[in-house]
Structure 1
Amino acid sequence: MERSLAHKSINGMVFCMALSSILILPMLEGASAQTENGFKEIDVLNNFELNPFSYFVDAPILAAGGKDSYNAMTIGWGGMGTLWGRNRPVVTVYVAPGRFTHRFLEKSKYFTVMQFCDIKVIEYMGSHSGRNGDKAKALGLHVAYTRNGTPYFKEADAVIECEIMYGAPFDAKNFRSGVPKKTYRSFPAGIHSMYIGEVVGAWKK
């Protein structure tokens, strides 16, 4: 991760303070597993009070896969909004093909984005690869699954589950400014793929 530990610690504290102010509202049925693990559902369209422009600055954890195999990683790029419907909330994440999580996103129908107030989780998930070992086990995290079979961690402070509606790599010939061109001149993991997911569930503690 490129941001300093102090920067992320400050952002993490801001996130934790903001998270405590989110209003609770039942949204979906059949999510008893999350409720039992200490989570309550939130309505992202009406009661999501976090800043979507700073949400990914706080480096959430992305997870994809299933009960047989999954992976999770820290991400720093993403977006939130609506697409293909005024009341259809979406989360967009970007993952390079060189990342281990990329292969799981390619095969999965869903993904989760999780927020942690524990900076150690953010640092470790962003500096170690799932190719080399079980990151969750190393951190003492416990994986659970939504009713759709999507992995998340019981220790997370907030979880957003998304159904992937679109996924494709960026096409370098369509870059319009020098920013992406400069970025990928020295980016060994490759040009990112974009995954747009419709929010099908959101929970916080």
Structure 2
Amino acid sequence: MNVYEGLLEDLREGRVILTSKAGNRVNGMTIGWGFFGIIWEEEYFISAVRPQRFTWRLVKESKRFTLNFLSEEYREALNYFGRVSGYQENKFEKGLLHLDELEGFTAPIKEAHTLIECSVTFASNVEPFVLPVEIIDKFYKDHGFHTLFFGKIEKVLQR
């Protein structure tokens, strides 16, 4: 079994927080969209992040992100990290989740059962002219189209 197959359910159920750090600023956001795959003969995770998100700014600056896979017991934190903006407050100061210091990881969360570290090698903005109207009406009423960050998987830690 592929190590990533077991993580797709966490992603589908919104139990993943993408974190990034640039300088002394760190932030995270709950994600439910993304892709594991092979491109340029390497393993990648492609993450969809809206430019309005503070995390987008940190990923753009650092060109790195950490995927933190959490169990359902952290639902309160997952909801909070998906709802509150990093522009408004430091989400980690609330104390629902805690940053760890692990060699080779940008912004790992202590409570995560699996960590995946990615380095961004490419980014592309979603172009609305190719999207079906139904998708635009359902997901992009505000025209806040995602940037797709192509993250080369550098390191995986399961604990």
Q: Shorter-normalised TM-score: what interval?
A: 0.7 to 0.9
Q: Which residue of 1 aligns with 2:150?
A: 196
Q: Which residue of 1 aligns with 2:119?
A: 163
Bigger Cα displacement from structure 2, 142-151 vs 117-126: 142-151
Q: Which residue of 2 aligns with 1:137?
A: 93
User: Structure 1 residues 185, 49: CA separation in 2 closer, same or farther (over 3 Å shift)?
Assistant: closer
How high is the TM-score relative to the length of structure 1? 0.68
- Using the TM superposition, give the Cα deviation of residue 58 of structure 1 relative to its aligned residue in structure 2, in angstroms: 2.2
What SS class does the counterpart of residue 87 from structure 2 fall into? Answer: helix
Unaligned runs of 5+ in 2: none
How high is the TM-score relative to the length of structure 2? 0.86
CA contact (8 A) 2:4 2:36 kept: no
Residue 96 (str. 1) matches residue 63 (str. 2)? no
What SS class does the counterpart of residue 50 from structure 1 fall into? Answer: helix
Which is strand-richer, 1 or 2?
A: 2
Residue 114 (str. 1) matches residue 75 (str. 2)? no
User: Structure 1 residues 47, 102: CA separation in 2 closer, same or farther (over 3 Å shift)?
Assistant: closer
Matches within 5 A, 1:38-117: 47-50=3-6, 52=8, 54-59=9-14, 60-66=16-22, 68-85=24-41, 88-117=42-71
**Quick one: which amino acid aligns to residue 56 of structure 1?**
L
Provide, for residues 94-141 of structure 1, a one-character-per-residue CA deviation record: whole Å limited to 9, x for no partner. Answer: 011111111111112210111111111211111111122221120343
- Using the TM superposition, give the Cα deviation of residue 57 of structure 1 relative to its aligned residue in structure 2, in angstroms: 1.0
CA contact (8 A) 2:66 2:105 kept: no
**Quick one: which amino acid aligns to residue 182 of structure 1?**
D
What SS class does the counterpart of residue 56 from structure 1 fall into? Answer: helix
- Using the TM superposition, give the Cα deviation of residue 67 of structure 1 relative to its aligned residue in structure 2, in angstroms: 5.2
Tell me the distance in 1 between the aligned counterparts of 2:5 and 2:125. Answer: 31
CA contact (8 A) 2:77 2:96 kept: no
Matches within 5 A, 1:141-152: 141-148=97-104, 150-152=106-108
CA contact (8 A) 1:64 1:111 kept: yes
The count of residues paired between Structure 1 and Structure 2 equals 156
- Using the TM superposition, give the Cα deviation of residue 66 of structure 1 relative to its aligned residue in structure 2, in angstroms: 3.6
Unaligned runs of 5+ in 1: 1-44
- Using the TM superposition, give the Cα deviation of residue 84 of structure 1 relative to its aligned residue in structure 2, in angstroms: 0.8
- Using the TM superposition, give the Cα deviation of residue 142 of structure 1 relative to its aligned residue in structure 2, in angstroms: 2.4
- Using the TM superposition, give the Cα deviation of residue 55 of structure 1 relative to its aligned residue in structure 2, in angstroms: 4.0
User: Structure 1 residues 154, 114: CA separation in 2 closer, same or farther (over 3 Å shift)?
Assistant: same
Select 2:142's aligned residue among 176, 187, 192. 187
- The structure whose Rg is larger is 1
Q: Which residue of 2 aligns with 1:12?
A: none
- Using the TM superposition, give the Cα deviation of residue 146 of structure 1 relative to its aligned residue in structure 2, in angstroms: 4.2
